[in-house]
Chain A
Amino acid sequence: MPIEIIAAFAGFLAGTAGAMGLGGGSILLLYLTLVAGEDQLHAQGINLLFFIPCAAAALWLHQKENRVPWRVVVPTALWGLPGAAVGFWLSGRLGGQGTGKLFGLFLLALGIRELLFPPQKSFSDQQKASLSQKTHPMP
């Protein structure tokens, strides 16, 4: 199969999973490092840039249905900004190899958690409940 088709498929899958909040970023990042053989930090940069328009499109669709809980989102994102700066600095200190290993450990821990402790409630269980709840418009 030509590499362009595999790359497009990886991009499509990453966009789909990302829009569902299922770690879509990791799919493209893994394609870039494990299949395309890119350097870890370069791949992370591509992944971040790729995620921005995909997340913006998905977020726009979610916001149209008033599904975005801004009262928690805004403070969480604000506190995340200094965290991101520290993370960027740390990735420079660790280098591509170290960061790649750390990402491997992160995924391994995540996979074990997903399989051993799956989420208790499903969307459909909660859909009925959230129908009666008030939505979260911007203040």
Chain B
Amino acid sequence: MSGNKQRHRWNFYRWNGKVMAGGALTGLVNGLLGSGGGMVAVPVLEKSGLDVKQAHSGSLAVILPLSVMSAAMYLHGGRVALADVWSYLPAGLAGAFCGAKLMGRISPRLLHRIFGGFAIWAGVNLLMR
């Protein structure tokens, strides 16, 4: 009886090649670059048939546990200390609340254009360094 229920719960989740490959790639980018996992997770989730909004909120839910694991490895490896991050947190949390409330109210096309231009500028700067 309980086994049946467990199997039902297991089947609720999607276990296929697309999800496996997309998840592994998201994790790889998250651990390797310490950011950018969301930029991989959003298209991956969209390919799994989710709409734009679900993919964006879902990407947060995917990246959160991955970031916890990556951050734990970075802390353990001595690359960073907890004290390094405090000064950025208040402004970041305020921004996170604004972002979650704003989502869906700003033209995403405009946001993507701004982000695209910014990413190219930053990429060139990093490569020239």
Contacts and interface: CB of A to CB of B under 8 A. Distances in A.
A2 interface: no
A77 interface: yes
A133 B26 CA distance: 27
Contacts of A43: 34
Interface string B42-86: 101100101111111111111111111111011101011010110
Contact of B23 (A9, A75, A101): A75
Residue from A9, A50, A136 having most chain B Cβ neighbours under 10 A: A50
Given A83-B23, A108-B127, A114-B119, A122 B52 contact: yes
Contact of B45 (A13, A69, A90): A69
A1 interface: no
Given A16-B98, A118-B109, A129 B51 contact: yes
Interface in A106-139: 106-115, 118-119, 121-124, 126-127, 129-130, 133, 136, 139
A82 B112 contact: no
Interface residues of B, number: 100
A107 to B, nearest CB: 4
Contacts of A106: 29, 33, 36, 123
Interface of A: 4, 7-26, 28-30, 33-34, 41-59, 61-62, 67-92, 94, 99-115, 118-119, 121-124, 126-127, 129-130, 133, 136, 139
B127 A72 contact: no
Contacts of B69: 81, 84-85
Contacts of B84: 42, 45-46, 49
B125 interface: yes
Given A25-B38, A72-B58, A88-B32, A42 B19 contact: no
Given A46-B84, A51-B35, A139-B9, A119 B62 contact: no
Nearest to A62: B57
17 contacts: A18-B38, A44-B35, A45-B74, A48-B34, A55-B60, A55-B64, A61-B97, A72-B45, A72-B50, A76-B22, A81-B66, A87-B28, A99-B33, A105-B127, A111-B121, A111-B123, A127-B53
Contacts of A13: 95
B62 A80 contact: yes
Nearest to B46: A119
Contacts of A123: 52-53, 103-104, 108
Contacts of A90: 28, 31-32
